[in-house]
Structure 1
Amino acid sequence: MKTAYCFDLDGTLTRQELLPLIASSVGLEDEISVLTEATINGVLPFDKSFKLRVRLLRDARLDWIHAALSEQVVFDPHMLDFIRSRPDQCFVVTGNLDVWVRPVLDRLGIQSFTSTASFEDENLLGIQHVLHKGDAVTSLRDRFDRIIAVGDGMNDVPMFEAADWRIAYGGTHSPNHLLVKLSDFVINDGKALCRLLSML
């Protein structure tokens, strides 16, 4: 049986949320952190919150963003080892903009599903498409017999609904309560998560 592993990026594969790091490049950490927390907890719908956060960050230069992410993003080492041992079966599913998180995704070296943006020179023109995480999972159905989803936030709900196995991960912060209800497992440690993934 061929299995696909779909991982949320922020706070799941990484040990921090990325938008607050991006916001640090333009001095908007507090504003973006509040919106990010409200989105993780399901207080704000992801699409609306994400568009608002992108609007706030539209003046952030792409080179500043890439520098901030390159210097500060840390991956869970156990998950990194798991992914590197199965690169053709592992996928990142993130609502973040492709052009913003490209350096982080390049370090992982696996296929990713992202929201997309249009840029001209170093300037953000707008969002082309906001990723619906359930669509990403559905697109893998013709290649895999089953799909395991790992995430922590409200915007992971569509991914969980489309997957066969669902794991709420609390390694960085407590997973969203609705996500926990949808989950088959709740894990708070990267090593334990990878052990479970290897057994499923």
Structure 2
Amino acid sequence: MKTLYCFDLDGTITTTEVLPCIASEMGIADEMATLTRITMEGLISFEDSLRLRCLLIGQVPIDRVHSIIAAIPLDPAIANFIRRHPEECFVVTGNLDVWIGPLVSQLGCRTFSSKAQFGEERLKLVHVLNKGRVIADLRGAEAAVRIVAIGDGANDVPMLAAADIGIAFGGVHSPTPAATSAAHYVVHDGNTLCNLLKAL
């Protein structure tokens, strides 16, 4: 049976959260980190949080955002696993397509993300990704597949719960209690994660 692997981006494939890196450009890294934390813990809905974060950092020029994001390091073991299996791996992120392009292009796999557009020098949020819907769509498009999902936060819970195997990942910080509860496994570093993926 074919296996598909769905990876969260921020703090899973990347070795740091993406949006706080952009926020540091505006001197609001601490505020963004706090907002990211309470979002991951499920204290504010992901959609409300994303809209607020877009308002806070949407004024950073897109070229500058791309240069910041392109410099964010990836977990080497996870990135190599994805590059070796580009047809079976997917990035599933609530982050914005207009921001993460330079980052996910390094991986060579298909990406599902929230969508935004720039108009009159303002960032407009168009669509917020539902990660659980991605799993359902992949299952509907591929016959006889097993889906493994990897994530760390409350917004990953629908994906972890809908997958055949959910893995709560704590590479950057401990996975939230909600993610841990929805997962079959809890893993805390990239090498161990990839060894588990190979063994499943």
Q: TM-score range by the shorter chain?
A: over 0.9
* Alpha-carbon distance in 1 for matches of 2:8, 2:111: 10
Residue ranges of structure 2 left out of the alignment (5+ in a row):
none
Which residue of structure 2 lines up, in the alignment, with residue 112 of structure 1?
111
For 2:95, what is the secondary structure of its paired residue?
strand
Name 2:193's counterpart in structure 1. 193
- 1:158 corresponds to: 158
Q: Does 1:95 align with 2:94?
A: yes
What is the TM-score when the length of structure 1 is the normalising length?
0.95
Most deviating of 22-31 and 82-91: 22-31
Query: What is the TM-score when the length of structure 2 is the normalising length?
Result: 0.95
Q: Equivalents in 1 of 2:125, 2:198: separation in Å?
A: 37
1:44 aligns with 2:44: yes
| Other-structure match for 2:167 | 167
Would you say the 8 A contact 1:117–1:124 is kept in 2?
no
Q: 1:1-200, aligned counterparts within 5 Å?
A: 1-71=1-71, 73-120=72-119, 123-141=121-139, 142-143=141-142, 145-200=145-200
Deviations 1:113-143 (A, max 9, x none): 000001137x333101000001111111121
Q: Report if the CA contact (8 A) 2:59-2:123 is conserved.
A: no
Contact 1:105–1:112 (CA<8 Å) still a contact in 2?
yes
Cα drift, residue 80 of structure 1: 1.3
Residue 108 of structure 1 aligns to a residue whose secondary structure is coil
- Alpha-carbon RMSD across the aligned residues, in angstroms, is 1.2
Q: Residue 130 of structure 1 aligns to which amino acid in structure 2?
A: V
Percentage of identical aligned residues: 47
Q: CA deviation at 1:155?
A: 0.4
**1:62-106 Cα shifts (integer Å, max 9, x gaps):** 0111111122x1111111111111100000000001001111011
